[in-house]
Every structure is written in C-alpha cells, then in structure tokens.
Homo-oligomer: A and B are copies of this chain.
Amino acid sequence: MRWPKGLDGLCYGGDWNPEQWPEPVWRHDLALMRQAGVNLVTVGVFAWARLEPEPGRFTFDWLDRILDAAYEAGIRVNLATPTASPPPWFSLRHPEALPVTAEGVRLTHGSRDTYCVAAPAYRAAAARVADALARRYASHPALAMWHVHNEYATDCYCDDVAAAFRRWLRDRHGGLSALNAAWGTAFWGQQYHHWDQVLPPRATRYLPNPHQLLDFRRFLSDELRAAFREQRDLLRAAAPDVPITTNAVFGDWVPVDHRDWANDMDLVSLDAYPEGEEAEEQTAFLGDLARHWAGGRSWLLMEQAPGALRHGGAWVRTVPGQMARLSLSHVARGSRGVMFFQWRASAAGAEQFHPAMVPHAGEHAPIFAEVRDLGAMLPRLAEADAGEVSAQVAIAWDAGSWWALRAPHLPSPDVEYLAALRRAHRWLWRSGVTADFADLGVDLSRYRLVLVPSHFLVDDRQAASVRRYVERGGHLVVWYFSGVADANGHVRLGGVPGAFRDVLGVRVQEWRPLPPGGTVALDDGTLATTWCELVELAGAEVVLRYAEGQLADRPAVTRNRYGAGSAWYVSARLADAAYDRVLAAVSAAAGVGPVVAGLPSGVEVVRRADGVHSWLFVLNHTDRAVRVPVTGWELLSDQSVSGVLMVEPDGVAVIRQENDGVDGRAHGRVPGD
C-alpha cells in the first residue's frame, strides 16, 4: 500500500476530461475544484485517440497544459493509461484484435472496452502508449499516481484467446491427461488428444463443461492481470516512486479475482455503483470487500456517481446528506478518500446523462453545494486513516466458488453465490456488527465467528484451515451447497458438505430443492424455502428440525462441538425469521456484538483504530435526529461529546476516542505510510 505522491490528507476529486472542453472551461474547472476542496483528479482515461492520433505519433501538448494547469492550481493528477478504449484506427489496422463473442460475433469499435486483451497487437499498442506516457510524465510534479486502464473486465473467445488459454492451462494442469482429468472429459466423451483441440467455451449445442467454464474465468483473470502488469512495469520503471493502481469494477459478469490482483498493486481502488434498493448495505458490502482485497489495509474509492443511484434503469437522486454518508461509509471501511465519476457532465457521448459533480445545469445546481460540503468535511477526518478496521466476524470470500456457481447445470437455481454472501453481510450490517471478508485458507484465529455461505469449492488447504480454526475454539457457520467440490469442481464423494463433513459432524444424504413457491415449516414455527436437505447426524446435535413433509423430525440446523470450538450447519434456505434466529444464537454463542451497543435502528457505526486511538464513524441512515451513546471528540464539529451524541437526520459524525475510553481530545496525528 503506497500513498499518492504529494498528497497528505484524504483524496478528493474525480475523473476530469478537459479534452472534451475548450481551454477556458479548464481554468473555470480548476477554480471550482479549489472551491470544492478537490485535490486529486483522474486524467486521460479515455484519451488514447487524442494522445496517439495515428500509430506511433503522440500529441502530448494538450496534456502537458492540463497537468501544468492542475499543478499550478495545487491539484494532483491520477494519470490514466487510456488503454480501455482503443481508437478507431487501431480496430481498422488490427481487426484481429477486436473481441469475439462466444457465438462468434466480432464486435466493432464505437464503444469503450472493445478489444481482445490477448491479442498481441493490442498488448503491443497498449504497452507503447503506456510507455510513452510514463516517459513523458514520470517526473511531472502534478503526478500523484498512475491509474492503469479502466475497469478490467472484458472477455473474448477468439483464436488469440484460445492460444493464450492453452498456455495457461498447460501452466495450471501440466499435460493433457491432467487436463482431461481436471475437466472430467470422460463424461460425454470429450477427451482431448491434442492441445489444438482445447478451446474457450464457445457456443456449443447443449450444456457446456463446467470445469472449462471455471478455468476460463480463472484464465481471463490472469490474462487481464498480465496485461495490467505489463503496463505497471513500464510505469514503475519510469517513476519508481509513484504508486500504481487500476480501478476495480465488481459485478457478477466480472472475470477478475480482485484479491489476487491486489498483490500486484500499490493501492487497491474500487468503483462503487450500488443498484436498486439498499444502497447503504451495498456500499458497506463493497467497502468491506475492497478492504479484503487490500489485505485489511487502506484502499481508495475511485468512482461513485455524485448524488445519484441507479434504480430500475433510472438515475435516482440521493437524499440530502446521503452522498456524504455513503462516501464516509467507504472512508470508515478504509478508503483513503472519495473520488467520483465524473467532474463535469459531458454534453455529448454515451454517458452524457451520467451524474457529475458539475452538472449540465452548472455549478449553481444543488449537487455542487453537496460536493463542496463533502470537500470541506474530509480534511477533518484525515487522521482516521491511521486506524484500521477490525472485525469479529469474517464472511468467506472465494472467487472460484463465485464463478463456479454461475454454471448452468446446478441442482437448483437457488444456489446463488453473491446473493448468499449479501444476505449474510446484510444480517451483520443490520445488527451493527462489522464484517471482514476472508479467504478460508488464511489464519482465521482473529475472528470469533466465520460465516461460510455457498462455498461450493473448497481445496484441501482451506478445509484444513477451517478445521484448525474450529479446533482451536472458533465458531463456524456453514450453509448448504458448501464444501461440495474440490478446486476443479469435482464433487467430493461420500456426501456433502464433503470438505467440512468432519468439522460439522453431519453427512447430507440428499439435496431436496423445493418446487417453486414451496416452503417447509421448522420446529420453532419458522420456515425454510427453496432448498432443504436430508441430513444424517455424525456427531452434531440438532438445533432446528424440519417439522413437516418428508423431512419431518429430521435435522435442519445442527451444531457440532469440534475441538474447542463449534460448527453449525444450515441445511436449508431459511426464511428471514429463521435466518435471524439462527444467526442471533450463533452470534451470542461466539460473543459477537455490535461496535456500539444500544444504537438506534438505522444508525451504523464503524470503528477504525490504531494503537492509541479509535475513530467511530457514525452514520445516521434515518430521516430523524438520533441519540447515540458515545463519548469522545467529534471531528466534524470539533467539539467534545460526552455520553450522548445527537446526529441530525441523514447526518454523520466521527468521534475520536482514546483507546482507554476517554475522549481523545489531544490527538493531532496526520496519516502517512
């Protein structure tokens, strides 16, 4: 984790595309940025065609002027390589570098992201423009940070990809017979006898091979990462002291293992675009995930939409204060600042209606006042970056399981990975409990409780780690469809939850998905829906039983003492009341509790702490004033709080405390690395 060069406090700003505007607008922009407290702008993300109007000819003058002007205005630049959007000339010159869908449709330029990452011509051209930028701007005083590419997430099924996939498979599996074993090609007689026969999962007649699908996503992640690394190495060679990131986009279609990529970055950054309801919980989910990718350390919120959330295809305006609340939710979770897409709304182009800090209506529109208010708030919070978030509970995160559960051949449509994780996270969030995400393979002993929803793939290292964790006193909850398969997606025989059978003390004889709309009563009067199982006890005791139908009196939820710890198994998709009851019982047993007890409903508190101080981020997600039982020094109002903090409707507060519990008035540290 390295800090943007030349910036002391939290970052504040957004994507700035001055090349879309005449130069007088640039000067006006910089003046407005200063008003708003902006200290960092992301420049050049989509400027390839402008920078290199024909192959090998670069035009830097305009970018020179932009960086100079920013520097003069005291604003630092997060300089992007423009490789996410090749110019039209590139497509015409290298048609083989245009992406091809699984159905064989070769896409055409006209949008962004329209390239094949495995195409040699693309890689060469991307390296050339990145290198040119690196050499030109390595020592520009405005340069704070490199922003490689934009939201790596593209796929392709062309012949270049096929070749690269084969190389990757050789590295992973060794020879063809290992590949055949890993992909289970004995089934349906798809054994490969020559490497040339191995292809990306292109459109085929019926169900595709699920192991091939899984490996293809893993390959895409690695291939995209290799492209990232090539640029990173060029940038680092030119400017060893400037940190490098690429902004992570997250969504079910994304073939990137962000945790894995983080090892290659100086700074993890996140684009956060919640959709639909529950923006607060989604924000917390994304922020906690980014912190996981960053290894628990600070990261940077690189993009969010100013003042609006996507909902039902519309940009729905946030309520007053919500933009600041969501931004501070990220900071509370480790973000070293707040960045937006984008600074000034484009008059034209495919995102002309994307929200912006300076909208089409101009700087007199209310959003700009909110932008200014938030800009004034952040410097007061900079000291909190010294603190780290520490969680009592971990939710297992596993990119392999995520990807494997997108296959079309599952026993039920209910085994949705992200939905299962979101549900566990939402429960904790509503209970005031801070969550980490964690890989099951790491040392889990710091957690009182580990939650494992739909962890379909489990490798032996992860299984051993979980055993060790529980043995030594940990508390574990495993949900159905976990531990089913090994790392290749082969079912572990003998009954699920294969990898966790011993620690859970159960053996599932049968999956019992319910027909659509079906429910089964449990013996405490609550309900299960969608998914049940026939569970055989093998040491565990019963917590809840099914109370009707074929499974009546059979175990639904179990608990197993294992070593010094306990391991719960949830064999059904519990309806809300049952889910709540089980997690409440588990939390009580594990001694897990909220950051601050006695919080009013709808108020969130996240704690960051270092050896000496704590900073409590208090976010009032309700439309009424609330009283929060805390003591300390409130940074935004710069005043003491003793016993009770009043927070305005939709308001926020950040309380510094000494770790011994007193108010932390004397603190004066600034963050650094």
Please report A residues at the B interface, Cβ cutoff 8 Å. Answer: 17, 19-20, 46-50, 53-54, 82, 85, 87-89, 91-92, 99, 103-114, 154, 183-194, 196-199, 201-212, 276-277, 311-317, 319-320, 345-353, 359-362, 364-367, 409-414, 488-496, 507-516, 534, 550
Contacts and interface: CB of A to CB of B under 8 A. Distances in A.
Contacts of A190: 49, 85, 87-88, 109-110
A210 B192 CA distance: 42
A114 B207 CA distance: 11
Contact of A49 (B189, B350, B495, B509): B189
Given A110-B201, A352-B210, A360 B493 contact: yes
Given A110-B209, A347-B490, A88 B188 contact: no
A509 to B, nearest CB: 5
Given A106-B104, A352-B491, A111 B188 contact: yes
Given A106-B104, A190-B49, A206 B112 contact: yes
Contacts of A515: 276-277, 311-312, 314, 316
Nearest to A47: B189
A494 B508 CA distance: 65
A99 B196 CA distance: 19
A110 B366 contact: no
A152 B203 CA distance: 20
A199 to B, nearest CB: 6
A312 B516 contact: yes
Given A184-B347, A186-B349, 15 more contacts: A88-B192, A89-B194, A92-B196, A104-B106, A109-B199, A111-B205, A114-B205, A184-B348, A187-B348, A188-B351, A314-B514, A320-B550, A345-B491, A360-B493, A360-B495
A351 B187 contact: yes
A383 B350 CA distance: 53
Contacts of A319: 550
Contact of A510 (B17, B184, B367): B367
A352 B409 contact: yes
A89 B50 CA distance: 47
Given A112-B206, A414-B314, A494 B350 contact: no
A85 B515 CA distance: 32
Contacts of A277: 515
Given A348-B489, A414-B314, A493-B360, A92 B50 contact: no
A414 B87 CA distance: 33
As for how many copies of this chain the complex holds, the number is 3
Contacts of A410: 353
Contacts of A359: 510
Nearest to A89: B193
30 contacts: A49-B190, A54-B193, A82-B189, A85-B190, A88-B193, A89-B197, A107-B203, A108-B202, A109-B199, A110-B212, A111-B207, A114-B206, A154-B205, A184-B352, A187-B352, A188-B350, A211-B348, A276-B515, A311-B516, A312-B413, A317-B510, A317-B511, A348-B490, A348-B491, A352-B409, A359-B510, A360-B491, A361-B508, A366-B509, A366-B534
Contacts of A350: 187-188, 206-210, 409
Contacts of A186: 17, 19-20, 50, 348-349
Contacts of A114: 204-206
Nearest to A313: B413
Contacts of A493: 347, 360, 362
A488 to B, nearest CB: 7
Nearest to A46: B189
> Max chain B CB contacts within 10 Å: which of A19, A108, A189, A198?
A189
A361 B535 CA distance: 11
A199 B209 CA distance: 33
A361 B144 CA distance: 57
> Max chain B CB contacts within 10 Å: which of A107, A209, A361, A489?
A361
Contact of A87 (B189, B207, B510): B189
Which 9 residue pairs are nearest across A and B when measured between Cβ atoms? A184-B348, A187-B349, A314-B513, A88-B197, A312-B516, A314-B412, A207-B350, A361-B495, A111-B204
B193 A53 contact: yes
Contacts of A351: 187-188, 207, 409
A409 B353 CA distance: 7
B365 A509 contact: yes
A198 B365 CA distance: 37
A494 B361 contact: yes
A183 B350 CA distance: 10
Contacts of A312: 413, 515-516
> Max chain B CB contacts within 10 Å: which of A92, A315, A350, A491?
A350
Given A187-B346, A314-B514, A108 B203 contact: yes
A89 B210 CA distance: 20
A576 to B, nearest CB: 21
A49 B85 CA distance: 43
A415 B510 CA distance: 41
Nearest to A199: B108
A315 B411 contact: yes
A53 B366 CA distance: 70
B105 A188 contact: no
A276 B206 CA distance: 21
A314 B413 contact: yes
Contacts of A91: 197
A251 B515 CA distance: 21
Contacts of A208: 110-111, 350
B99 A317 contact: no
Contacts of A206: 111-114, 350
A534 B360 CA distance: 13
B193 A49 contact: yes
Contacts of A204: 107-111, 114
Nearest to A409: B350
A495 B204 CA distance: 46
B189 A113 contact: no
B191 A99 contact: no
Given A53-B193, A202-B108, A188 B349 contact: yes
Contacts of A111: 188, 204-209
Contacts of A494: 360-362
A197 B107 contact: no
